[in-house]
């Protein structure tokens, strides 16, 4: 897309970064993170879970025009807990594992992004789920009500 | 004299501090042509508007063909030419006249004839906005002809008309009068009015100061006749001495004398024998009468 | 005894059920209550932890800490350095009438069951950034813990409760915090009669079920007065949120909750629904003078009334010709223009333009044009009264 | 009498056509109606509501604003202007009564207005129908909209004549007309709303208010259109008031207004000295 | 002859299908008073508007005091009295005239004097809307007096004026001319114009068909002089037979003869002896000239 | 030149006073501004801004409607009417250029408008200040509102002259003015709104839209007032969005429009044959 040419670079994750919806510090939580850059705003808005980022994208609400979307590359993450501060990849090019039954940093079922399709397949092979592109993530994966009693796996 | 068509009794009209009309009484009978004279602001137009019922009077009463002014009957009996004719400029002459014909209950087929009569046949289908001033006046004239009015109120009808149309106009007025219309003409063109009207009414500051035939007015005014006496040879000096006249370019002497003294003077001059080569007699003209009545001056 | 270590020595001698009354003065030492004793500062004694670890640690059941001024905890988040730490085993422990000043955490109820934290005053740290501060009261896996009548100021969250159940947080006052009350993974608990003033967020309930939030007051909280995040089957009743800079109430992926009898007043947004929040029942609330009363982007209709009772809307100039207290016509807080503005931020430039007003106006006259959203078929003419603690208005006392 | 009224009407119609008022009014109507219909269609498209109903609903509100506006604009000049230009005196010297002149102008202007309404709403309605289908009810609503709009226009035409006769000058009449528009279309309702809010469901709200509402032709127009169409009625802020009134009130008000206003116009016209 | 103030060369103006002006050339020098005659719609007002630069020409050129019409210089040099004076009716006469004085760069203090001059001092502070037609015309006249125009264009200046004001008007025109203003007067009142102008120009359907002094025009027109011969006794029949004249009310015979044949006829009549009681000679008047030139008819 | 402009301006001012336009405009402004301020005081709640700011925000919207309307109403008659009545030919025979006449009228009408604005907004602002306090920022916003309203009025005055010169007749000019008002104040934005919704965040919305918006004087007015004051932006709900354009764009547009429109008016006035 055209605006990618002028897209701002990803911001490193800091300890101050608050998750957009729940106002909690994302660095304190495990699992993949996301950030969305909006036109006219100094910094990106962060998401403690990729699921929430996708929910934001799927919501018709817009605070401003989106200029860039980044998610953590879990292939480049040290482990599930230490996702890394700099390993952002463009969400448009990422491979997402859905329905893996894994819990994100906040505890909701997570959508797990990878830069590398192979890494994604490895993850899916281990935890289940399927691999899709950003635009193909079904609404249910991000918006469906979450039954808190459903047990989820905490990946390593 | 025919039937009285217009009867104005003691009409008065005040506007703010101004007494525009003051005790005006005037009658017009069928077939009469009456000139209404007066200086600017004397109240001529106001009087006409009052007769039309456009302006209510503050005193007195008016009846038009036996009806109150402004009543349907009165309006059916009246034709009016305003002093400032204004038509809707986006209509053509024919359309405008057709409207009036319809309102006056006059066959629309006659419209073309009337337009021709006032010399507008060529311009009939052009918009009135493109008419010259005189052409608009002519259109105004044409609408006066519609129907068979018992009373025509013409407010400065010749204004804007070219000399030939003026003659036409007076021909039209004569024709209307002959057909029994009483015509009231407010005008400032005394020379024309002089010859063409039966009676002359003069307003001065809202009061009617004269209302009679030209002859009677002349008589009543008692204005002097001017005698111009041409002297034979160099007798002019002698004539001046004898008559008390004023010398005019050497050879002639002008003498003003009141009507009742005219014959006396003539006899005295005749008696002077052949020093008098010629005598011209200039009776007072309407202009002098007008000056006399309308200003209240005495010469 | 004022010597350092004097308390520890005395405690060694004490028998369960004893009460230790401290003489006035400052005791620089860390205290471990591993017996069911009462440590009473009488309002005049100060315990100073010396900047290492927790000042008082309780491991015994039914121990009581009261009347103390407690300062000088360590600064380690890893070990949760606190003014008073109630560990597993401290069942029924009581922390009462203490003044905890500048500790990383005020009270940490860590695995202790049925603990009581009552009438303490907890002034957290102001020196660090919000992130690095600890919570006023941290409750972790402490079923039955009750936190009541405390006054918490500064620090991170007033009460942060994590993975717990059957807790009661009532009648506390929270100021100058991040969240007043923060729930994570807690079920069957109650928050009632608390006051939250000028915090980032008032009452945040996340990943929880069956929580009752009732009779609380939120004044001048910056982000949200009440937030439900992945929270289901909870009851939010009789709360009053006033003058929130952002939202009075915010729901994110929260379902089957009940909002009733609340008053949401003077916020930027009265209540905001986002992604996948459904089946919530909203009745009997009063939405008063919020700039946007409801923000709910939806293409389907959501009825906000039950059994002929809806909510009160201060911006709804309605007629009640039959005088039954219920407006004669339905109220729809949002129109097409709102939807356009929420989804097309660029169109905000047109705000205040007659064209926008024309659209709004015709929408207002003919809401049949609306593409879905909230509808209240039985709007209340008058707001229902709420009973919340008085907010005295003294922000410094 | 009819003949004279028609004569005046024909001339006025010619003038209305010549000075492009007919064109203007029609263009304005078409533009607005179509713009509103298209603008409304974008976000409502997914709703599955009959487009024509939606369009008619929007256009009803539009008409509350436009019909009085266009009517007043056509009317404000027609007596004052003619008096100012001097043509009125001559016209009045003919055996045509002022009432007839008034009626003649009324007939002509109302025809022009009706033409503009029919074309404007017709085109917009057609567009909506093409895009989103028609049913009998929505067609009836469209026809009702057009007819009541013409009635509303008639009321304001007559009010415009009244002001034109009152004002003395065309610019004055323009100003008064603007004021009248504001009062009837905006301020009146604002005042009533204020009173209702102040009254808080008391006597005024329950008894006087619906009648006061119906007494304003613009509101009567709205009430009529709303009450007559089930779909819209329930949804509108006016339905409460509408149902508080017998069915005949709003139509009666809207039908009475043109007559009443014409009588008023005639009264003031009679008093005018050209 | 003074300096040329107005120079019209070959002016042409077409309006839609109409050729309103067609090759009109006309000069006016300082101090000249020129009458512009022509039937309604001949193009007089259009010519004036073209001179003012209000209407662009389609052909030819005009210069006013050496400048293009409508230029600031030309307008500063020109005074204009429109055929239909219209002022804003809510202003008073004094306010309106003051505006014009300011625009004409003429001391505002003089306004009162001019108002007095046209007889409006009493009405000066009333709104123009209450003025009579003649009063408005007078106000129009007053504004012509402002400044010292080099060229005055008066379009039917006497229309609406009462007889006394008309005299005043021509006095004013004479005064202006004496002070060097070239005055162009479009008028239909031939009697007035006849005596008061230096030159006469006649437009016919947009073409200038005459432009000369009255005498020259008379000469050139070659209109017949009318001789009225009064017969002695019943000799009228004989005179008719001899001259081919027409009999007028029994006693008199009218005979039209071309200028060059006048003396011959006179001699022949003299030779007839005492059958001829009297001979009156009526040379053609402006009205006849106008008829001749403006209609293209030959009598 | 200045002398002549002032002479024309003085006469126009007298006329404006005599035909009660000045009074009308002032009364309308005061009524509306005060009504809006009083009505607005109740439900706005605490936005962290004071009453005056809230009042200024509402009055900004009001001014978008009223300033163009009043300006057009004052202007529409001033050339066409005078030409129609016949006074223009005489006036133009004087050594005063059409530009000077235009400027004279402009000065007079603008003064009248400015008077109405200052009184109307001043009274309302004072009321708001008395009720809810003032601070420097809100006072500045009020002054800015008044000044920009005058600028907006100036633009539409000049546009009104243009139409008046174009139309040929006063009624025609009235119609055109009504059309122009509709286009600039309503239709233009409606079109843009439609385009934005239709475009759904595409190229048009991102690049052209803000500029297209600023190109309309009515929108430029709004943007300027909103963007320049945080308080007003907040009270309008527009905060953030106004920053889509560089700061200078809206003021430049609003300052250019009167000049541009005057030039246009002059162009058409020059071509007018009285
Ligand atoms: N605006 C116009 N559009 C079209 N034709 C016009 C326009 N103005 C004048 N005419 C025509 O031009 C011709 C000359 O008009 P003009 O007013 O110059 O006549 P005039 O000699 O002044 O006549 P009058 O003695 O009646 O004043 C007329 O035929 C008239 O109809
Ligand atoms: N509407 C009015 N309001 C106030 N005074 C008026 C009004 N109309 C006319 N007048 C005054 O009434 C007097 C008579 O006016 P009127 O028009 O009858 O005069 P007129 O004799 O027709 O004059 P003219 O020869 O100039 O046409 C004048 O002094 C005039 O100023
Ligand atoms: Cu949380
Ligand atoms: Mg008169
Ligand atoms: Mg002429």
Q: What percent of chain C has pLDDT over 90?
A: 41
Task: Please name the residue whose Cα sits nearest to atom 25 of ligand 1.
Answer: E40
Residue E77: closest C-alpha in chain F = F95
- In chain C, what are the helix, strand and coil shares in percent, each to the nearest 5? 10, 40, 50
Contact D170 F28 (CB under 8 A): no
pLDDT of F205 over the 80 cut: no
Residue D77: per-residue pLDDT: 85
Q: What percent of chain C has pLDDT over 70?
A: 92
Distance CA D54, CA D47 (A): 10
Residue F81 — pLDDT band, cuts 50, 70, 90?
Answer: confident
- Range D216-243 average pLDDT: 65
Residue A25: per-residue pLDDT: 84
Contact A40 F240 (CB under 8 A): yes
- Range F75-85 average pLDDT: 87
Backbone φ, ψ for residue A149 (5° rounding): -85, -10
- Range B35-41 average pLDDT: 91
Pocket of ligand 2, candidates E85, E129, E131, E132: which has the most ligand atoms within 8 Å of its Cβ, to mutate?
E132
Among positive and negative, which fits the CA dihedral E220, E222, E228, E231?
positive
Distance CA B266, CA B264 (A): 5
Tell me which residues of chain F, numbers 169 to 198, contact chain C at a CB-CB cutoff of 8 Å.
185-190, 192-193, 196-197
**Ligand 3 centre distance from Cα of residue A24 (Å):** 6
Highest mean pLDDT out of C343-352, E81-90, E236-245: E81-90
Residue C362: per-residue pLDDT: 63
Backbone φ, ψ for residue B126 (5° rounding): -95, 155
Residue F198 — pLDDT band, cuts 50, 70, 90?
Answer: confident
Task: Please name the residue whose Cα sits nearest to atom 18 of ligand 2.
Answer: B43
Q: Do C138 and C117 contact (CB within 8 A), yes or no?
A: no
Which candidate in F87, F92, F93, F103 is best for mutational testing of the E interface (most E CBs within 10 A)?
Answer: F93
pLDDT of C344 over the 70 cut: yes
Give the closest of F8, F19, F89 to E82, CB-based: F89
Give the closest of D19, D31, D175 to F171, CB-based: D19
pLDDT of B15 over the 50 cut: yes
CA-based radius of gyration for chain B? 24
Residue pLDDT, tens place only, E24-61: 999 999 999 999 999 899 999 999 999 999 989 999 99
- Contacts with E208 (C-beta within 8 Å, 6 or more apart), sequence order: E23, E24, E25, E26, E201, E202
Residue F44 — pLDDT band, cuts 50, 70, 90?
Answer: very low
Among positive and negative, which fits the CA dihedral E127, E129, E132, E133?
positive
Q: Which of C363, C385, E206 is nearest to D54 (CA)?
A: C363
Residue F237: per-residue pLDDT: 59
Distance of CA E6 to the CA centre of its chain: 16
- Range F66-87 average pLDDT: 88
pLDDT of E10 over the 70 cut: yes
DSSP-derived secondary structure for chain D: -HHHHHHHHHHHHHHHHHTTHHHHHHHHHHHHHHHHHHHHHHHHGGG---HHHHHHHHHHHHHHHHHHHHHHHHHHHHHHHHHHHTHHHHHHTSS--HHHHHHHHHHHHHHHHHHHHHHHHHHHHHHHHHHH---HHHHHHHHHHHHHHHHHHHHHHHHHHHHHHHHSSHHHHHHHHHHHHIIIIIIHHHHHHHHHHHHTSSHIIIIIHHHHHHHSHHHHHHHHHHHH-HHHHHHSTTHHHHHTS-TTHHHHHHHHHHHHHHHHHHHHHHH---
pLDDT averaged over every residue in chain E = 86
Q: What percent of chain B has pLDDT over 70?
A: 96
As given in the structure block, the two tokens for residue D175 are 């100003």
State the complex-level ipTM. Answer: 0.78
Residue B292: per-residue pLDDT: 81
Mean pLDDT check: name the lowest of A66-80, B269-283, C215-229: B269-283
Q: Listing from the earlier edge strand, what are the strands of the sheet with B225-231?
A: B246-248, B252-257, B225-231, B276-282
Residue pLDDT, tens place only, B166-219: 888 889 899 999 999 999 999 988 888 887 889 999 999 899 998 988 888 887
Distance CA B232, CA F160 (A): 79
- Range B134-157 average pLDDT: 91
Crossing angle of helices F170-181/F51-85, nearest 10°?
150
Residue D234: per-residue pLDDT: 43
pLDDT of E298 over the 50 cut: no
The angle at the Cα of F13, spanning F11 to F17, to the nearest 5 degrees, equals: 115
Distance CA D265, CA D102 (A): 8
* Residue B286 vs residue D45, higher pLDDT: B286
Residue C365: per-residue pLDDT: 57
- Does the beta carbon of B86 lie under 8 angstroms from any beta carbon of chain F? no
Q: What is the 8-class DSSP label of residue A11?
A: P
Among positive and negative, which fits the CA dihedral D236, D238, D242, D244?
positive
Residue F233: per-residue pLDDT: 66
How far CA E46 is from CA of B42, B152, D86, E6, E50, in Å, comes to: 33, 32, 24, 15, 6
Q: Do B251 and B230 contact (CB within 8 A), yes or no?
A: yes
Among positive and negative, which fits the CA dihedral C77, C79, C83, C89?
positive
Distance from CA of A128 to the nearest CA of C (A): 24
Residue C194 — pLDDT band, cuts 50, 70, 90?
Answer: very high
Distance CA E18, CA D231 (A): 62
pLDDT of B263 over the 60 cut: yes
Q: Do C101 and C127 contact (CB within 8 A), yes or no?
A: no
**Given a contact as 3+ CB pairs under 8 Å, which chains touch E?**
B, F
- Does the beta carbon of E122 lie under 8 angstroms from any beta carbon of chain F? no
Residue C196: per-residue pLDDT: 93
Q: Nearest ligand to the C-alpha of residue B162?
A: 1
- Range E152-166 average pLDDT: 90
Q: Do E124 and E112 contact (CB within 8 A), yes or no?
A: yes
- Does the beta carbon of A64 lie under 8 angstroms from any beta carbon of chain F? yes
Residue F208: per-residue pLDDT: 83
Residue A2: per-residue pLDDT: 39
Residue pLDDT, tens place only, D194-214: 777 676 666 776 677 778 888
Mean pLDDT check: name the lowest of B91-105, B273-287, C55-69, F209-223: B273-287
Q: Which of F32, F40, F93, F97 is nearest to F67 (CA)?
A: F32
| Ligand 2 atom having least distance to the Cα of E134 | 26
Give the closest of C299, C319, C366 to D58, CB-based: C366
Distance CA D258, CA D152 (A): 8
DSSP, collapsed to helix, strand or coil, labels residue B183 as: strand
Q: What is the 8-class DSSP label of residue F134?
A: -
Contact D19 B105 (CB under 8 A): no
Distance CA A142, CA A155 (A): 19
Residue pLDDT, tens place only, B48-85: 999 999 889 999 999 998 899 989 899 999 999 998 88
pLDDT of C19 over the 80 cut: yes
The angle at the Cα of C375, spanning C370 to C379, to the nearest 5 degrees, equals: 135
- CB of E294 closer than 6 angstroms to any ligand 1 atom: no
Task: Please name the residue whose Cα sits nearest to atom 17 of ligand 1.
Answer: B132
| Ligand 2 atom having least distance to the Cα of D273 | 1
Residue pLDDT, tens place only, E223-281: 777 777 777 777 777 777 877 777 777 777 888 877 777 777 777 777 777 777 777 67
Residue A46: per-residue pLDDT: 92
- Contacts with D122 (C-beta within 8 Å, 6 or more apart), sequence order: D142, D146
- Does the beta carbon of E68 lie under 8 angstroms from any beta carbon of chain F? no
Q: What percent of chain B has pLDDT over 90?
A: 39
Residue pLDDT, tens place only, C243-298: 888 899 999 989 899 999 999 998 889 999 887 788 889 999 999 988 888 988 77
**Ligand 4 centre distance from Cα of residue F16 (Å):** 29
* Residue F238 vs residue D270, higher pLDDT: D270
DSSP-derived secondary structure for F6-31: HHHHHHHHHHHHHTTHHHHHHHHHHH
Distance CA D45, CA C392 (A): 52
Q: Which of A92, A83, A81, A141 is nearest to A115 (CA)?
A: A92
Residue numbers in F near C358 (CB within 8 A): 186, 190
pLDDT of A107 over the 50 cut: yes
- Range F93-119 average pLDDT: 93
pLDDT of D3 over the 60 cut: yes
Q: Nearest ligand to the C-alpha of residue C252?
A: 3
Residue F227: per-residue pLDDT: 77
Pocket of ligand 2, candidates B18, B81, B204: which has the most ligand atoms within 8 Å of its Cβ, to mutate?
B18
DSSP lists the bridge partners of residue C247 as: C224, C269
As given in the structure block, the two tokens for residue D63 are 């008409």
Q: What percent of chain E has pLDDT over 70?
A: 96
Residue numbers in F near A64 (CB within 8 A): 240
Domains annotated for chain E, with CATH where assigned, are 4-219 (3.40.50.300), 224-283 (3.30.70)
Q: Do D146 and D224 contact (CB within 8 A), yes or no?
A: no
Distance CA E160, CA B188 (A): 7
Q: What percent of chain D has pLDDT over 70?
A: 85
Q: What percent of chain A has pLDDT over 90?
A: 19
Q: Which of B117, B120, B160, B6 is nearest to B68 (CA)?
A: B6
pLDDT of D175 over the 50 cut: yes
Residue C190: per-residue pLDDT: 93
pLDDT of D223 over the 70 cut: yes
- Range D143-165 average pLDDT: 94
- Contacts with C50 (C-beta within 8 Å, 6 or more apart), sequence order: C28, C29, C30, C72
Residue pLDDT, tens place only, F216-232: 999 899 888 887 776 66
- Range A70-85 average pLDDT: 87
Distance of CA B266 to the CA centre of its chain: 33
Which candidate in C336, C337, C355 is best for mutational testing of the F interface (most F CBs within 10 A)?
Answer: C355
Residue pLDDT, tens place only, E169-189: 889 999 999 999 999 999 988
pLDDT of F268 over the 60 cut: yes
Residue numbers in D near F190 (CB within 8 A): 35-36, 39
Contact E40 B165 (CB under 8 A): yes
Distance CA E50, CA E44 (A): 10
Q: How many CA atoms lie within 13 A of B242 on its CB side?
A: 19
| Ligand 1 atom having least distance to the Cα of E38 | 21
DSSP-derived secondary structure for chain E: ---EEEEEEEEEEEETTEEEEEEEEEEEETT-EEEEEE-TTSSHHHHHHHHHTSS--SEEEEEETTB-TTSHHHHHHEEEE-SS----TTSBHHHHHHHHHHHTT--GGGHHHHHHHTT-TTTTTSBGGG--HHHHHHHHHHHHHSS--SEEEEESTTTT--HHHHHHHHHHHHHHHHTT-EEEEE-S-HHHHHHH-SEEEEEETTEEEEEE-HHHHHHHHTPPEEEEEEESTTTHHHHHHHH--EEETTTEEEEEE-GGGHHHHHHHHHHTGGGEEEEEEEPPPHHHHHHHHHH----
pLDDT of D46 over the 50 cut: no
Residue C231: per-residue pLDDT: 92
- CB of B90 closer than 6 angstroms to any ligand 2 atom: no
Pocket of ligand 2, candidates B41, B49, B52, B187: which has the most ligand atoms within 8 Å of its Cβ, to mutate?
B41
H or E element at residue F214: helix F209-214
pLDDT of F15 over the 50 cut: yes
| Ligand 1 atom having least distance to the Cα of E206 | 14
pLDDT of D112 over the 80 cut: yes
pLDDT averaged over every residue in chain A = 85
* Residue C45 vs residue D135, higher pLDDT: C45
Residue pLDDT, tens place only, F150-187: 999 999 999 999 999 998 778 778 878 888 998 898 88
Q: How many CB atoms lie within 10 A of CB D122?
A: 16
Q: Nearest ligand to the C-alpha of residue B44?
A: 2
């Amino acid at each position: 897309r055209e605006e990618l040419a002028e897209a701002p670079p990803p911001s490193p994750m800091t300890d101050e970064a608050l998750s957009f919806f729940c106002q909690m510090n994302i660095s304190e939580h495990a699992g993949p993170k996301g950030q969305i850059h909006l036109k006219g705003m100094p910094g990106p808005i962060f998401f403690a879970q990729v699921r929430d980022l996708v929910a934001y994208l799927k919501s018709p609400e817009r605070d401003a025009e989106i200029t860039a979307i980044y998610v953590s590359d879990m292939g480049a993450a040290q482990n599930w807990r230490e996702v890394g501060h700099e390993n952002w990849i463009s969400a448009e090019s990422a491979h997402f594992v859905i329905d893996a039954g894994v819990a994100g940093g906040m505890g909701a079922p997570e959508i797990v992004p990878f830069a590398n399709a192979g890494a994604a397949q490895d993850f899916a092979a281990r935890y289940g789920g399927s691999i899709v592109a950003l635009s193909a993530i079904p609404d249910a994966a991000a918006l469906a009500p979450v039954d808190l009693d459903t047990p989820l796996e905490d990946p390593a | 004299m025919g039937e009285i068509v217009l009867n104005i009794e003691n009409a008065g009209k005040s506007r703010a501090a101004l007494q525009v009309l003051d005790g005006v009484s005037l009658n017009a009978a069928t077939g009469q042509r009456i000139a209404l004279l007066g200086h600017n602001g004397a109240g001529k137009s106001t009087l006409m508007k009052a007769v039309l019922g456009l302006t209510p009077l503050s005193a007195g009463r008016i009846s038009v063909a036996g009806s109150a002014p402004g009543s349907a009957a009165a309006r059916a009996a009246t034709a009016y030419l305003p002093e400032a004719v204004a038509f809707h400029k986006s209509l053509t002459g024919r359309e405008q006249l057709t409207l009036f014909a319809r309102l006056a209950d006059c066959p629309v087929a006659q419209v073309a004839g009337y337009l021709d009569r006032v010399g507008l046949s060529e311009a009939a289908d052009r918009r009135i906005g493109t008419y010259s001033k005189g052409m608009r006046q002519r259109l105004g004239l044409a609408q006066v002809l519609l129907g068979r009015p018992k009373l025509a109120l013409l407010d400065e009808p010749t204004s804007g008309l070219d000399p030939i149309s003026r003659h036409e106009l007076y021909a039209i007025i004569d024709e209307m009068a002959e057909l029994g219309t009483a015509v009231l003409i407010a005008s400032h063109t005394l020379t024309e009015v002089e010859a063409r009207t039966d009676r002359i009414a003069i307003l001065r500051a809202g009061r009617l100061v004269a209302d009679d035939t030209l002859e009677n007015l002349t008589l009543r005014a008692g204005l002097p006749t001017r005698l111009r006496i041409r002297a034979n040879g160099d007798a002019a000096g002698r004539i001046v001495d004898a008559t008390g006249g004023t010398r005019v370019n050497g050879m002639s002497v002008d003498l003003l004398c009141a009507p009742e003294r005219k014959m006396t003077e003539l006899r005295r001059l005749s008696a002077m024998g052949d020093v008098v080569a010629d005598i011209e007699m200039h009776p007072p003209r309407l202009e002098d009468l007008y000056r006399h009545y309308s200003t209240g001056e005495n010469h | 005894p004022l010597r350092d270590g004097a308390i520890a020595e005395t405690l060694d001698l004490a028998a369960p059920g004893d009460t230790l009354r401290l003489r006035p003065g400052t005791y620089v030492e860390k205290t471990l209550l591993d017996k069911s004793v009462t440590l009473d500062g009488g309002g005049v004694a100060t315990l100073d932890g010396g900047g290492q670890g927790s000042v008082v640690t309780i491991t015994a059941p039914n121990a009581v800490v009261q009347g103390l001024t407690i300062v000088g905890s360590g600064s380690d988040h890893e070990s949760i350095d606190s003014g008073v730490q109630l560990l597993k085993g401290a069942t029924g422990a009581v922390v009462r009438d203490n003044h905890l000043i500048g500790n990383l955490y005020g009270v940490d109820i860590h695995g202790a069951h049925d603990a009581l934290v009552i009438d303490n005053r907890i002034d957290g740290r102001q020196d660090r950034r919000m992130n690095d501060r600890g919570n006023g009261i941290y409750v972790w896996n402490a079923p039955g813990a009750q936190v009541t009548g405390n006054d918490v100021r500064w620090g991170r969250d007033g009460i942060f409760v994590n993975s717990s159940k059957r807790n009661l947080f009532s009648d506390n006052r929270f100021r100058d915090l991040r969240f007043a009350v923060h729930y994570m993974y807690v079920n069957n608990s109650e928050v009632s009669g608390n006051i939250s003033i000028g915090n980032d967020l008032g009452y945040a309930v996340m990943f929880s079920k069956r929580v009752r939030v009732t009779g609380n007051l939120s004044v001048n909280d910056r982000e949200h007065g009440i937030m439900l995040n992945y929270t289901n089957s909870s009851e939010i009743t009789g709360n009053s949120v006033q003058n929130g800079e952002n939202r009075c109430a915010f729901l994110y992926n929260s379902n089957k909750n009940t909002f009733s009898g609340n008053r949401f007043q003077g916020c930027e947004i009265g209540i905001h629904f986002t992604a996948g929040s459904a089946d919530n029942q909203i009745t009997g609330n009063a939405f008063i003078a919020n700039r946007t009363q409801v923000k709910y982007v939806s293409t389907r209709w959501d009825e906000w009334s039950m059994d002929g009772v809806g909510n009160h809307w201060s911006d709804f100039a309605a007629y009640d010709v039959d005088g039954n207290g219920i407006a004669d016509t339905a109220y729809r807080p949002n129109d097409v223009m709102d939807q356009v503005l929420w989804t097309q931020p660029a169109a905000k430039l047109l705000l205040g333009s007659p064209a926008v007003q024309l659209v709004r106006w015709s929408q207002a006259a003919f809401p049949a044009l609306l593409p879905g959203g909230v509808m209240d078929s039985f709007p209340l003419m008058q707001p229902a009264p709420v009973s919340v603690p008085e907010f005295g208005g003294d922000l410094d006392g | 009498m009819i003949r004279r009224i028609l004569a005046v009407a024909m001339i006025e119609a010619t003038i209305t056509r010549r000075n492009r008022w007919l064109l203007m009014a029609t263009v304005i109507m078409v533009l607005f109606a179509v713009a509103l219909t298209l603008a409304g269609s974008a976000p409502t498209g997914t709703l599955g509501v009959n487009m024509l109903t939606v369009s008619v609903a929007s256009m009803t509100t539009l008409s509350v604003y436009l019909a009085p506006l266009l009517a007043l604009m056509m009317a404000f000049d027609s007596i004052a202007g003619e008096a100012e230009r001097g043509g009125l005196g001559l016209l009045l010297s003919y055996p045509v009564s002022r009432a007839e002149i008034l009626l003649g102008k009324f007939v002509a202007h109302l025809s022009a207005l009706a033409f503009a309404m029919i074309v404007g709403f017709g085109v917009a309605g057609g567009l909506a129908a093409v895009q989103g289908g028609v049913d009998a009810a929505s067609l009836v609503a469209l026809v009702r909209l057009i007819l009541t709009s013409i009635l509303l226009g008639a009321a304001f035409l007559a009010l415009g004549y009244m002001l034109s006769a009152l004002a003395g000058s065309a610019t004055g009449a323009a100003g008064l007309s603007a004021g009248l528009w504001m009062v009837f279309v905006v301020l009146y309702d604002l005042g009533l709303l204020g009173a209702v809010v102040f009254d808080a469901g008391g006597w005024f709200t329950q008894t006087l208010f619906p009648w006061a509402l119906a007494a304003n032709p613009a509101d009567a127009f709205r009430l009529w259109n709303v009450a007559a169409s089930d779909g819209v009625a329930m949804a509108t802020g006016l339905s409460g008031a509408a149902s508080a009134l017998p069915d005949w009130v709003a139509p009666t008000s809207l039908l009475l207004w043109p007559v009443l206003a014409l009588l008023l116009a005639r009264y003031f016209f009679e008093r005018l000295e050209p």
